[in-house]
Structure 1
């Protein structure tokens, strides 16, 4: 076991990380620094301070990172219209590089030689935290207790707490699900969801009403874009975090953003999870709409071809990799003309684009019209275009290629 003098722990104040804080002191004989991030999870993070103090922690970091999270991680990801395996909006994945960044920064500030996290050895988060940490500080030591200790059940964790006089808050009506939340989403795993045939219970969902219970009247909103990012809603300027919080509320009220999927984890297993991402669902639809009139066809298609690779990089924990940074520069360059407004109709779980406009629009009514275009487009030109594109098909057919 390598000597550790001080370790920075990603600390939530819950059962697992409270045990980890004590276990690190006991096992490594080191000083523990705690870091708690407010990423918009909807719960107060300040109580973590009192819990850390009760454990004897001297250096405690509690930070509001909602604006940085949305501005520097969520918005850049949505410029690429990013979804993993066709559905997942990467709500958990995109939070991990920011946490890894702050763990390393705090380690530098406090002179710590190690960081620690509460991710299990079965999940993706261990990979995301550690790849990020090593990219930002190659010599950092990472301690992952779930890969070292023998406390492999809730009962053993509670017994450890009793032995070491760790006070654990007992919540009434505790959810049977493993949940993760931030300003972009809330996720649910475990419980009955481990059976992919079982339907999620209605009372599991926390951020959205069911589409059946959503209002009978449509809600209209207008999103204003500058360089691919939303800067105002209904002409009211907003910060990135305020935009996302507002869209979560209006989306959830209209039954938008529920998802039930089985995804392929990077570590090799399939996992069933349910997600609520109301704001992100609206953002994805609207961003594609504003791009539809402002991006050149081949630029738009190239972005669509590269997006799955970009999504996989984020899902697998490679946010801080050179290839992600390279892709990001290309994506951001494509967003320079992505300015204007999108009008949306929200109704019972659906997001419908009903209008889009931009001073950078490439849509030409004179050419696109079904009426008289006054010579703006010569339809006779299409004959030669078709014949040239059919040439290789004709050659193949004449050489005996059989299709039927």
Structure 2
């Protein structure tokens, strides 16, 4: 009788390597590993060989970088999504893509379940499993870290390392990097270890080597660099006059942003499961893109459309952060966002300098800015009669006057 198949989200780190061997042993199953190439670069080196040596029957390593940029990062940036005013959602937005591809592989392979190495304290377990529920409700999800028998067997990293050594699994877990990382095309995150102390200075000299995508702002070039981004319908299509795919845009902006120390964020955020956690992020290209997109909107978006979309940013960002990318409410919001972006077209010029992204000009063939109307000098278009403002102010002040009169009468009693 054929063994059941389980598709495992596999990074090659200590946790997923141990989980691979444990799942095979526990369920007497064929383990198919899946790794999404979403911009981890050298982290993918040797991964297939390692998975096979650890016991995988089949290995998928799929290049999803273009899809990630085109269908996930760009739509999210059109929405202006920013979680709790700081986080550009680099890890959050990658999870639904990974889970989507996992269930596709599970169906193609006839697997009975998918598995992941997310802990029971984090957000990723929710993101993976909500995506699976939305796209493939018939497929079981195995989350070892939520199983008592797994946690009893591996109460700490020492037990996992010992298990790996016993089973001939090569691991690189050491005390030299007492923090965890997650890297993709949009960002890299750092958490746990010494970063669990929110008073610890993540820009201190002793952790200078922690950063991967950017130099420290103080080490950035002493001369500013200008960059031009061209937009069509809310998406960046060219950098410095060169037409690029979404992937090309992200790679170019990451290079420029990293060079100038742009995009570092250190924050304490609210996880969906209820606790606060401290995270440090590098998002160099995303920070440039986010700033440029906002400036392009300022010239081309109708005021009320912008304010309506902006009122939905916290909700949209929470949906992404909490794992509801494939939920009907996110898809509905995206339709509104797409409509709002139809005239967000033109060119933005920015100045990059020591961690800062500074606006240096914006232009558009569909600009809503009319200098003849906005001028402080005489209005040659005669489109705006300053005297009209008298009645405008009087009508808007009416309820304030009535309210003030009531309050005065109350105080005079």
Q: What TM-score do you get using the length of structure 1 for normalisation?
A: 0.96
Kindly indicate whether the alpha-carbon contact (under 8 Å) linking 2:319 and 2:325 is maintained by their aligned counterparts in 1.
yes
Gaps of 5+ in 2: none
Task: Quote the residue 1:314 is aligned against.
Answer: 320
Evaluate the alpha carbon distance shift between residue 260 and residue 403 of structure 1 in structure 2; reply closer, same or farther with a 3 A threshold. farther
Task: Quote the residue 2:108 is aligned against.
Answer: 109
The CA distance in 1 between the partners of 2:174 and 2:399, in whole Å, is: 70
The CA distance in 1 between the partners of 2:409 and 2:66, in whole Å, is: 59
Matched, 1:253 2:262: no
Aligned match for 2:222, one of 197, 216, 220? 216
Matched, 1:93 2:92: yes
Task: Quote the residue 1:55 is aligned against.
Answer: 54
The CA distance in 1 between the partners of 2:60 and 2:247, in whole Å, is: 21
Task: Quote the residue 2:64 is aligned against.
Answer: 65
Matches within 5 A, 1:168-207: 168-170=170-172, 174-200=176-202, 201-207=207-213
Aligned match for 1:324, one of 323, 330, 340? 330
Kindly indicate whether the alpha-carbon contact (under 8 Å) linking 1:37 and 1:45 is maintained by their aligned counterparts in 2.
no
Aligned match for 1:395, one of 385, 390, 402? 402
Root-mean-square deviation (Å): 1.7
The CA distance in 2 between the partners of 1:315 and 1:245, in whole Å, is: 23
The CA distance in 1 between the partners of 2:88 and 2:405, in whole Å, is: 48
Q: Alignment length, in residue pairs?
A: 401
Task: Quote the residue 1:29 is aligned against.
Answer: 28
Aligned match for 1:281, one of 281, 287, 302? 287
Cα deviations across residues 257-287 of structure 1 (Å, max 9, x unaligned)?
0110000000010000100001111111100
The CA distance in 1 between the partners of 2:215 and 2:305, in whole Å, is: 37
1:400: Cα distance to partner? 2.0
Kindly indicate whether the alpha-carbon contact (under 8 Å) linking 1:209 and 1:254 is maintained by their aligned counterparts in 2.
yes
Gaps of 5+ in 1: none
Task: Quote the residue 2:77 is aligned against.
Answer: 78
1:44: Cα distance to partner? 4.4
1:372: Cα distance to partner? 1.5
1:162: Cα distance to partner? 2.7
Kindly indicate whether the alpha-carbon contact (under 8 Å) linking 1:4 and 1:113 is maintained by their aligned counterparts in 2.
no
Task: Quote the residue 2:348 is aligned against.
Answer: 342
1:113: Cα distance to partner? 1.2
1:154: Cα distance to partner? 1.2
1:171: Cα distance to partner? 6.7
1:12: Cα distance to partner? 1.1
Cα deviations across residues 114-138 of structure 1 (Å, max 9, x unaligned)?
0000101110000000010111011
Matches within 5 A, 1:262-273: 262-273=268-279
> Which secondary structure state, in structure 1, belongs to the residue aligned with residue 344 of structure 2?
coil
1:35: Cα distance to partner? 0.3
Evaluate the alpha carbon distance shift between residue 194 and residue 402 of structure 1 in structure 2; reply closer, same or farther with a 3 A threshold. farther
1:46: Cα distance to partner? 4.6
Evaluate the alpha carbon distance shift between residue 53 and residue 403 of structure 1 in structure 2; reply closer, same or farther with a 3 A threshold. farther
The CA distance in 2 between the partners of 1:243 and 1:193, in whole Å, is: 31
Cα deviations across residues 123-162 of structure 1 (Å, max 9, x unaligned)?
0000000010111011110001111102131111112123
1:56: Cα distance to partner? 3.3
Cα deviations across residues 5-55 of structure 1 (Å, max 9, x unaligned)?
111000111221111111111111111111011110232425111012112
Kindly indicate whether the alpha-carbon contact (under 8 Å) linking 1:4 and 1:114 is maintained by their aligned counterparts in 2.
no
Task: Quote the residue 1:158 is aligned against.
Answer: 161
1:93: Cα distance to partner? 0.2
1:402: Cα distance to partner? 8.9
Cα deviations across residues 230-283 of structure 1 (Å, max 9, x unaligned)?
000011001111111111111111111011000000001000010000111111
Regions of 4+ moved over 6 Å? none
Kindly indicate whether the alpha-carbon contact (under 8 Å) linking 1:5 and 1:31 is maintained by their aligned counterparts in 2.
yes
Cα deviations across residues 161-205 of structure 1 (Å, max 9, x unaligned)?
233x23214378842111001010001101221111110133322
Evaluate the alpha carbon distance shift between residue 370 and residue 113 of structure 1 in structure 2; reply closer, same or farther with a 3 A threshold. same
> Which secondary structure state, in structure 1, belongs to the residue aligned with residue 229 of structure 2?
strand
The CA distance in 1 between the partners of 2:337 and 2:28, in whole Å, is: 47
Evaluate the alpha carbon distance shift between residue 212 and residue 334 of structure 1 in structure 2; reply closer, same or farther with a 3 A threshold. same
> Which secondary structure state, in structure 2, belongs to the residue aligned with residue 271 of structure 1?
strand
